[in-house]
Amino acid sequence: MEKWELAKEIYNTSRLTGTFKLRSGQVSNQYFDKYLFESNPALLVEIAKQLKELIPPETEVLAGLEMGGIPVATALSLQTGIPVVFVRKEVKKYGTCKLAEGVNITEKNVCVVEDVITTGGQILLSTKDLRELGAKVHHVLGVIERTKEGRENLLEDGLQLHSLFTMDELIEGEKEHAKG
């Protein structure tokens, strides 16, 4: 599948209109319901096939952020063979009581995986936690980059964002191909 075709599929599958409050507190008149593309096996496989090309070569572990980054990171792991950890927003008080579930990340080059990036707030919080656990984190993979603000916030923390699509690319790509 060509990249523009994938953009069109994500757009048609996931775009909702109305009034939506984002995690950042911002209000948007359109929303990309990430769970609609993440729960579609064929679409998720195609996203992983294209997103894997953006994985930095030094990556030793993929870190899927709770909750939306986990299916994307798992699909990428299946495509590449790179181990994955699942990063909680907070430690549970039962079971293993770990923040990062999965393989050991100490002294490993970890690439954070997220589905949609707006301000990068949760990525920054999770990256801080991963670094405190001994991970070397310098890169973030994302499916959709909603705003430039997220990229700028990540750069300030030494994180390079590699996104498959910007929101503008999804919207403009759909408009262009709708013209036929």
Cα–Cα distance for residue pair 164/169, rounded to 1 Å:
10
| Segments in the chain forming alpha helices (H) | 3-14, 34-38, 41-51, 69-80, 121-132, 148-156, 167-179
Q: Is 88 assigned to a binding site?
A: yes
pLDDT tens readout for residues 94-152: 888 899 999 999 999 999 999 999 999 999 999 999 999 999 999 999 999 988 999 99
Query: What is this structure's pTM?
Result: 0.91
Cα–Cα distance for residue pair 35/20, rounded to 1 Å:
15
pLDDT tens readout for residues 82-92: 999 999 998 88
Q: Is 152 assigned to a binding site?
A: no
Q: Is 146 assigned to a binding site?
A: yes
Q: Does the domain formed by 3-179 have CATH 3.40.50.300? A: no
Sign of CA dihedral 21, 166, 144, 139: negative
The ranges assigned to domains in the chain are: 3-179
Q: Is 108 assigned to a binding site?
A: no
pLDDT tens readout for residues 165-176: 999 998 886 666
Higher pLDDT, 125 or 23: 125
Q: Is 89 assigned to a binding site?
A: yes
Q: Is 69 assigned to a binding site?
A: no
Q: Is 92 assigned to a binding site?
A: yes
Q: Is 118 assigned to a binding site?
A: yes
Segment 56-70 shows an average pLDDT of 98
Q: Is 23 assigned to a binding site?
A: yes
Cα–Cα distance for residue pair 129/178, rounded to 1 Å:
43
Segment 53-75 shows an average pLDDT of 98
Q: Is 120 assigned to a binding site?
A: yes
In terms of Cβ atoms closer than 10 Å to its own Cβ (0-12, 13-18, 19+), residue 80 is middle
Q: The tokens of 1 are what? A: 């599948």
Q: Is 13 assigned to a binding site?
A: no
Residues 6+ away with beta carbon under 8 Å from 104: none
Q: Is 58 assigned to a binding site?
A: no
Q: Is 70 assigned to a binding site?
A: no
* pLDDT value, residue 94: 86
Give per-residue burial for 131-148: e unless 16+ CB within 10 Å, then b.
eebebbbbbbbbbbbbbe
Segment 32-39 shows an average pLDDT of 92
